[in-house]
């Protein structure tokens, strides 16, 4: 209900629109759409009731501000690449002036704000330590390892042996075991640089080149097993397998049976028999 002294604007506007529609006697042949005209007048009434300027009303039936129908193109934001994902070694600014950088030639390198001294891949990093510096600052490497934490899967401690008496290596080896780090020793800046570039160049290569290629057939597996015994060769392995039919037969054979095999003398037979029957750990003799 409107307050005293005020006019009911909505009823007045509705009466005016009804009067306008009744005064329009459109001929059947006219092209004006009566329904569209009614909708436009209704929107004008809503503008007055809500105190909204008519130019801000969407006459298509949705009450949205002008320009709201314009679509905003999605902005594609490129996520930052992981550190070490590129083809370059990332070098910490604290290593600026280190002579080993002169010998990193086969792979590119660049400075970057990182926690370790060198980032050699997404999961590999390295800390550099000079034994001469370590003798003057023994707590330095402790703090660096503590700060590094478990950020990288493979953490390398690259130590340059530049002192005559490297007695501190034993302590560093123990430290690397406790910190789950890999200790690499280099006796010159050139050798240390080669280690860095080798780690980076082999970052995405499989370990197939390091693995021994063993055939999957039975004879090859038995031969590979028996030839680990000193002085037993491939020919001896084939002879033993032919004589005793299986590895179980070779294990159960006595020294005398082994000596009878062609090509196996008493020395080879004794070595093979000892390997197959002696315990792995020597028992301590009791002192009387």
User: How does pLDDT run across 172-215, given as a tens digit for each residue?
Assistant: 999 999 989 999 999 999 999 999 998 888 888 777 766 766 67
Question: Which residues of the chain fall short of a pLDDT of 70?
Answer: 1-85, 209-210, 212-214, 282-288
205 vs 175: CA distance, rounded Å: 29
Looking at residue 201, what is its pLDDT? Answer: 86
Count other C-beta atoms under 10 Å from residue 258's C-beta. 23
Give me 179's structure tokens.
């910190």
Domains in the chain: ranges and CATH: 89-207 (3.40.50.10130), 218-277 (1.10.150.20)
pTM across the whole model: 0.49
Cite the DSSP H helix spans in 118-233: 131-136, 140-148, 169-179, 189-201, 218-226
């Amino acid at each position: 209900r409107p307050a005293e002294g005020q006019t009911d604007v909505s009823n007045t506007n509705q009466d005016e629109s009804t009067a306008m529609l009744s005064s329009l006697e459109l001929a059947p042949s006219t092209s004006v759409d009566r329904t569209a005209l009614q909708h436009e007048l209704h929107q004008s009434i809503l503008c007055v009731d809500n105190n909204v300027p008519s130019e801000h009303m969407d006459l298509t039936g949705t009450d949205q501000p002008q320009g709201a129908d314009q679509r905003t193109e999605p902005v594609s934001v490129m996520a930052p690449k992981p550190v070490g994902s590129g083809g370059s070694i990332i070098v910490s600014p604290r290593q600026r002036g280190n002579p080993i950088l002169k010998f990193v030639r086969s792979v590119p390198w660049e400075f970057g704000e990182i926690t370790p001294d060198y980032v050699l891949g997404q999961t590999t990093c390295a800390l550099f330590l000079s034994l001469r510096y370590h003798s003057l600052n023994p707590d330095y490497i402790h703090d660096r390892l503590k700060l590094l934490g478990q950020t990288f899967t493979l953490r390398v401690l690259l130590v340059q042996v530049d002192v005559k008496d490297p007695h501190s290596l034993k302590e560093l080896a123990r430290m690397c075991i406790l910190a789950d780090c890999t200790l690499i020793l280099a006796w010159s800046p050139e050798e240390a640089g080669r280690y860095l570039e080798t780690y980076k160049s082999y970052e995405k290569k499989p370990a197939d080149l390091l693995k021994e290629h063993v055939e999957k057939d039975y004879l090859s597996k038995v031969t590979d097993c028996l030839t680990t015994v000193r002085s037993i060769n491939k020919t001896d392995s084939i002879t033993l397998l032919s004589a005793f039919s299986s590895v179980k037969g070779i294990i159960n054979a006595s020294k005398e049976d082994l000596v009878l095999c062609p090509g196996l003398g008493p020395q080879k037979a004794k070595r093979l028999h000892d390997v197959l029957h002696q315990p792995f750990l020597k028992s301590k003799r009791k002192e009387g």
